[in-house]
Amino acid sequence: AQSVSQHNHHVILSEAASLELGCNYSYGGTVNLFWYVQYPGQHLQLLLKYFSGDPLVKGIKGFEAEFIKSKFSFNLRKPSVQWSDTAEYFCAVNAFGSSASKIIFGSGTRLSIRP
């Protein structure tokens, strides 16, 4: 069965620091990959997605992620974080050919930015 791992449960950074949040998945076939963000008190929003093509995808608010198939990873990056990036970040995967097409979420990483 497909699964998603986010190794960082809580990351604390200062403003302007660079960010990288890890995401690994377990599935040997074709996948779609997503990063979602949940700001305090708000609903989940799609940050970026990878379906096919260029493995480096750019999303909203200056975020990007790189799909490395050999490492089963889809890490999220941002060169310079802002206080407004404080939120919960979820990596998600949709694996094709599995029992049903559904998106499975990782456990989430809480990002706290110090002003």
Q: Does 46 bind another protein (CB under 8 A)?
A: yes
Residue 90 binding another protein, by CB under 8 A? yes
* CA 115/CA 28 separation, integer angstroms: 41
Query: CA–CA separation, 112 vs 90, rounded Å?
Result: 14
Binding part of the chain for another protein, among 14-22, 38-46, 54-62, 73-81 by CB under 8 A, reads: 38-46
Q: Does position 104 bind another protein by CB under 8 A?
A: yes
61, 69, 71, 102: residue in contact with another protein (rule CB under 8 A) = 102
Is 27 an interacting residue with respect to another protein (CB under 8 A)? Answer: no
> Is residue 108 at the binding interface for another protein, with CB under 8 A as the rule?
yes
Largest CA distance in the chain: 45
Q: What is the DSSP string of 39-87?
A: -TTS--EEEEEE-SS-SEEE-GGG-EEEEEGGGTEEEEEESS--GGG-E
- Stretch near another protein under the rule CB under 8 A, chosen from 55-63, 66-74, 76-84, 101-109: 101-109
